[in-house]
Amino acid sequence: MEHLIKSKILENSEALFGTAVDGHLIQFQKTRKDVKGDLTLVTFPFVKLLRCNPAEAGTKIGDFLTKEVPAIGEFEVVGGFLNLVISDDFWINELKSMHADDAFGLAAADSKPTVMVEYSSPNTNKPLHLGHLRNNFLGYSVAEILKANGHKVVKTQIINDRGIHICKSMLAWEKFSPVNDKGERETPQNTGLKGDKLVGKYYVEFDKHFNTEAKEIIAEWENGNFDDYPSGIREEFIRLTEAKAGKDEKAAKGIDDKIKDLAKNQTTLLREAKEMLVKWEARDPQVYLLWTTMNNWVYDGFAVTYKKMGVDFDKLYYESDTFLLGKDIVMEGLSKGIFFKKEDGSVWIDLTADGLDEKLVLRSDGTAVYMTQDMGTAVDRFNDYPDLSGIVYTVGNEQDYHFRVLFLILEKLGYSWAKNCFHLSYGMVDLPEGKMKSREGTVVDADDLMAEVVESAAEMTRERGHIEGLSSDELENLCKMIGLGGLKYFLLKVDPKKRMKFNPAESIELNGNTAPFIQYAHARIQSLLAKAGTGLKEIHSIEINEVEKEIIKQLTEFPSVIAEAGKEYSPAIVANYTFELVKLYNHFYQSVNILNEPDENLKAFRLILSANVAKVIKTAMRLLGIDVPNRM
RNA sequence: GCCCUCCUAGUUCAACGGAUAGAACAAAAGUUUCCUAAACUUUAGAUACAGGUUCGAUUCCUGUGGUGGGCACCA
């Protein structure tokens, strides 16, 4: 309808305004609930053209449209707003056509370019936590939304399987794991621990011993013992200690941290971890075997978690394969004059003209940095998938700057796809008590949380009843749908860019803007349809009420909501749309009695309306990775 | 110090520069002879502050205050 009106106005702009008008002057919005009309045209933009007041402009355009567009019956002008009334027949036809369309709202599959969506990308030294849940749910959902928009999607993750952090877990396991009577150190098999949990345990173990050792070193320094440490340490320690005098609490703490860092760098543990990393890079067989073994434990653990989350991947990248990539690109950029070399041999790019800084792309010893690797990986992916048009990176907003730089460098290097790369940046998830800090044990473990929400859903379902006739498998499945749906919805309904607060109690809430509220509406409609039986009759001309019309209007917006969510990479748009739809429907449901409606025609209409609400709910929730039960 | 981000009811979130700033939770009051009460209906309550641009500003610009993050030859 908007397209139709727009083109009519543009075609006749000479007659209406005496001049051609720009398409963007024609702005629509939803009509306020308390005034007459279904669609509103904002007439302020035409005031200057027509040299009249907004109301006169509205009347002129309204007169024109009622003549030109049959579906527009009448109109009303309120100030600068032209409110158009669209005929009931138009809405009923809309409903009929969506009812006939099983894939309503979805664009034709694979009709748009291939997009890669990267998400999850964990480190292999610790288990997944709440922050990863937001990342995974977001990435998965955006992938689904892009598919719904007709894109072919490759879901991927890059697994950070190498580096000093992995060596820390490995070292701690070798040093601190107890040995059982069979002479084995702890394994997932002999402890029954999930692999990622076991490895994570030793990462924590490393940190514990590491801190203890650092404290001991500081104690030695405080006693004036610097014998075992390199020259310069004593001076630095004294300098820092003296700088502390007279500082306020916060500044003093900062200096304490620096002293601690100084001491940490002198620990045997860190030295050994670094040695292990060097051995790993040299492919030392023993270190490599340990690395492979422990990473496999982690992958087994992650697989369980991903399955529970309901996410999956089409292609995996491992940092151990990609961490050397990108050097040839640096050389190429160097020869093109995009990068420059400093005296010490390090290679940089100067982005000051773009409002950014100088950025290192290759160390003076010729080794790659994070940026180098990311450049290489991106190019690599476009080689792997020749029809790839762009990459979406689901990564936290602490890396905003990194991705700005990365995309800019790729663009300067002349990769035309650089403009199709997008950083799906999301805010941190806060707990009611504040930031999650692994050191302080305030991290919420992903497995624990998922188990908790499912258990809560089970409790509430048992309390409520309505479960007669369900097998225990069906019941378990239902509780999973409700619990995990609630969790997913809670994390997805907020604008991804925004930092959000996670309240464990609210996440399992079943009222308000939650998945169970939406799932319930769907289940109730299914049971309504089952009771009504099949054979929905054709609807004849009928008078529909305001609420019914509102619902149809809302339903017709679904395709544009999907398009909008794809453009903005925002599942929140889909979530909030669905919630509005359900509220509208519940209101309607409460005000009529569909099954006992004597007018067969009206009954058929209301059933079809309900069926389409259910269809849209199901599709929308699918885009969020949430299952909807047929009964609950 | 420099750069980025965010600040909306008691709380958690909405609002392409558009009409009287919407919801949800919490609070208060109601609705079960009838399709699932995990529902529905009422009531009360907010744009951090100060300027500017505009017919019109929660939205854009400037400044102030606050939040969080980034500024390593770490990843």
Straight-line distance from CA A431 to C1' B46, in Å?
23
Whether A507 CB is under 7 Å from strand B: no
Nucleotides of strand B lying closer than 7 angstroms to a protein CB = 3-6, 11-16, 18-20, 23-26, 34-41, 55-56, 68-75
More confident residue, A248 or A9: A9
Nearest of A519, A511, A542, A550 to residue A621 by alpha carbon: A519
Q: What is the 3-state secondary structure (H, E, C) of A127-151?
A: CCEHHHHHHHHHHHHHHHHHHHCCE
Q: What is the pLDDT of residues A426-437, one digit of tens each?
A: 999 988 776 666
What residue has token string 């492979």? A292
pLDDT at A534: 63
Burial A106-115 (b: 16+ CB within 10 A, else e): bbeeeebebb
- Which SS3 state, helix, strand or coil, does residue A337 take? coil
CA to C1' distance (Å), from A100 to B26: 43
pLDDT at A227: 86
pLDDT reported for residue A249: 67
Nucleotide nearest to A42 (CA to C1'): B18
The band of A124, judged by pLDDT with boundaries at 50, 70 and 90, is very high
* Model confidence at A577: pLDDT above 70: yes
Which helix (H) or strand (E) segment holds residue A85: the answer is strand A81-86
Give the whole-angstrom CA distance, residue A360 versus residue A380.
21
The pLDDT value given to residue A436:
66
Count how many residues are written for chain A. Answer: 632
Whole-number distance in Å between A15 CA and B47 C1':
43
Q: What is the pLDDT of residues A319-377, one digit of tens each?
A: 999 998 999 999 999 999 999 999 899 999 999 888 888 999 999 988 889 999 999 99
Whole-number Å distance, CA A68 to C1' B10? Answer: 52
User: Is residue A88 within 8 Å of A540, Cβ to Cβ?
Assistant: no
pLDDT digits (tens, 9 = 90+) for A495-549: 999 999 998 777 778 889 999 999 999 999 999 999 988 655 677 778 888 899 9
Cβ contact A48 with chain B strand, < 7 A: no
pLDDT at A440 over 80: no
DSSP A430-441: EBTTB---TTTT
A43 CB-near residues (< 8 Å, 6+ apart):
A54, A55, A57, A58, A61, A77, A80, A81, A82
Ramachandran angles phi, psi of A21, nearest 5°: -115, 160
Kindly list the strands in the beta sheet with A340-341, ordered across the sheet, starting from the edge strand earlier in the chain. A340-341, A347-350, A358-362
Q: What is the pTM of this model?
A: 0.95
Q: Give the H or E element holding residue A387.
A: none
A73 sits in the region (left: phi over 0; alpha: psi -120 to 50; else beta) called: alpha
Instruction: Give the integer Cα–Cα distance in Å for A395 and A605.
Output: 46
Look at residue A58 and give its three-state secondary structure. Answer: helix
